Amino acid sequence: VQLVESGGGLVQPGGSLRLSCVASGDFFHIHTMGWYRQAPGKERELVARVANGGNTDYVASVKGRFTISRDDAKNTVYLQMNSLKPEDTAVYYCHTNAELRLRIGIPYDYWGQGTQVTVSS
C-alpha cells in the first residue's frame, strides 16, 4: 500500500493550495480518507476526513476555509485550502482506513509520508 501526496508548498497568507493523495494497493474497500497535520512542537491533529458515503468532518479551525473531497474511481482524496493562515503551517499527512483483498473484514490505517505546507509572507 502506498499513499502519495502532492500539492504542498509555500504560499502567502490568504492564498490557496490544493493537496492531492493517491492511494495504491490491492484494496477491497476504502472506508475513510482524510488529512492530518503536524506543526513543529505540536501533536498530529485531524484536519478533515471523508467517509465512503460522503460524510465529512473538519477540525473547527478550518471550517469554511478547507474542503475535502474524494474520487473513488481514482482512490484519490483532495484538500482544497483557501484563506490560508500562518497557523496552518504544518506537515500534512494523508490517511486512509481500508481493507485489502487479502484481509477482508480487517481494516487497517495507512499513512502517506507527508507534504509541507508553509504559509508566510
Which residue's entry shows cell 474524494?
Answer: 70
pLDDT digits (tens, 9 = 90+) for 50-82: 999 899 999 999 999 999 999 999 999 999 999
Name the nearest CA neighbour of 39 among 77, 95, 97, 85.
85
Share of the chain above pLDDT 90, in %: 98
Q: Residue 102 and residue 104: Cα distance in Å, rounded?
A: 6
